[in-house]
Structure 1
């Protein structure tokens, strides 16, 4: 009896730590947009901000890449795909969208990814999905229509909306690759190693695309305006690299190891709420009542889409193959 009590106490403590880590990850990811947008408005190209973020994070996690160097021989296609889609694609599309539409809107659109994953499972993999998951898709799409105010002919820049949708599509690639990476069971690649090499591959690709040698480096020596308050640009960059990327990914991975992926994924939905609140407080971005209601519906749809999957090994229809074994619980992104 005492042994059961001890194990239960330890399990409860691990669950509490896992929830705390998942919340920390959502908070860290949610703060990336409000730190990046002032840098973009100060004169940096969105691609240059992405390059600085990914390259800085890649240098920080370089020791992890050295430790897991065997992955280069075991899973080269996974590492390349993860770097192209989950790192370079998601970040580039999301940051480019930030230069045209509000932070909260961009992130809420990106949260269509769980719904798009269901489309991949149903149409490409030809696997059935649950009715609840289908309801989640409908809710997410309907909420998105409210967020972008389709009745007024898209109140936001259509290109910005398309870029945010591109980030959501890259998130689908992230989920699918996460699923591919776990086919080997206990021999599956370590998530920390995949993230490290994903950042390195993303940095290499973005170096060619962003051409950082053309960047206006003097912006980093000055200040950026955050809703009327000047903030040193290098402080914002440090936040993006250390907090919104490295800390966000690491805490996300550790939370998955202590919680079920479904629970951790649901907690990650708070990222959109956190980003919207931070953009309101720090950047002065306000959303209308219909947009706030639509954002809530998007989150509810994402919640249903992620939490309606049966447990691993269940014969029931799946809600999303990739989300069940998410490497870092990101919905995304960035």
Structure 2
């Protein structure tokens, strides 16, 4: 049964990475007409919650005690994995270029490996380490950071907080101990994340602003509500539902590395929808990321679990 589960998990993870990868292009088209990152993130999360909620309630099957027992987990997931990953990233790109901000945020898979090692004693083998190095090198090429963009401390701090949110997303997705069905976790996280962003907006922390002007997608004038609906339904609702389900099947480590395809997908969709043509070096980076994911999968069977030493006297 392991092979079919892994195959299903990989397909779900790729679907999640592709749908998440669309968000940059759609959001960028809205930014050009006066939408702020805060409004875009809030509306995206709210629509995603509406999409995921019926599935989450159905999967729960009346076991409402699971929600009460995991209220803290759902709150943390909504604050860190949903709100944190989006809001902190947008704060970072207000102060630095998008490429460096993405590169910092997508050190999350390495953070997941480190967390599993420190918290659960799952020491990565050399093949997994090689996969991490290849994936990091591939990301550097995909983001094409040869321009030597300048960084400031505040921007790096926000991007690192976004990385923490992304790492939390992968770790919590892979955790079976809560008893929550994966779609219920996704729906609850989106609902709590929307509530948190709503509070931030009311407090004036989240910058708000929108427009009903047409946007340009793939060279065509498009009504503003088209990218808004696609952002909410596809890049939020579907993306989180498939991502959480993939995490349960693959585990945090492999799920996080396959999610790196989001960067490759984002570059491709930016080329298609907003005419940002990727360079040859970026395509080479995508191949390095693929090699890194394969190496991580091969290294899964070589993880060494360090058991704690029992010093009690029997």
TM over 0.5: yes
| Aligned 1:35-114 pairs, distance under 5 A | 35-64=26-55, 66-67=57-58, 68=60, 69-96=64-91, 101-102=97-98, 110-114=105-109
More moved, 41-50 vs 207-216:
207-216
Q: Work out which of the residue numbers 312, 317, 325 in structure 1 matches 2:304.
A: 317
Structure 1: 5+ residue runs without aligned partners?
A: 1-6, 319-334
Matched, 1:205 2:192: no
Matched, 1:129 2:124: yes
- SS of corresponding position for 1:33: helix
Q: 1: CA distance between counterparts of 2:138 and 2:180?
A: 36
Match of 1:225 in 2: 216
Q: 1: CA distance between counterparts of 2:6 and 2:128?
A: 26
The answer to whether the 8 Å contact 2:144/2:282 transfers is yes
Q: 2: CA distance between counterparts of 1:265 and 1:183?
A: 19
Match of 1:172 in 2: 167
The answer to whether the 8 Å contact 2:182/2:245 transfers is no
The alpha carbon displacement at 1:252 in A equals: 4.0
The 3 A distance-change label for structure 1 pair 81 and 298 is: same
Match of 1:183 in 2: 177
How well do the aligned residues superpose, as a CA RMSD in angstroms? 3.8
Q: 2: CA distance between counterparts of 1:162 and 1:304?
A: 30
The 3 A distance-change label for structure 1 pair 200 and 247 is: same
Match of 1:324 in 2: none
The 3 A distance-change label for structure 1 pair 35 and 96 is: farther
Match of 2:184 in 1: 193
Matched, 1:153 2:148: yes
Matched, 1:215 2:215: no
The alpha carbon displacement at 1:137 in A equals: 2.7
The alpha carbon displacement at 1:153 in A equals: 2.8
CA-to-partner distance for each residue in 1:109-142, whole Å, 9 max, x for gaps? 5432211211223345554221112222333344
TM-score (ref. length: structure 1)? 0.72
The answer to whether the 8 Å contact 1:122/1:128 transfers is yes
Structure 2: 5+ residue runs without aligned partners?
A: 306-314
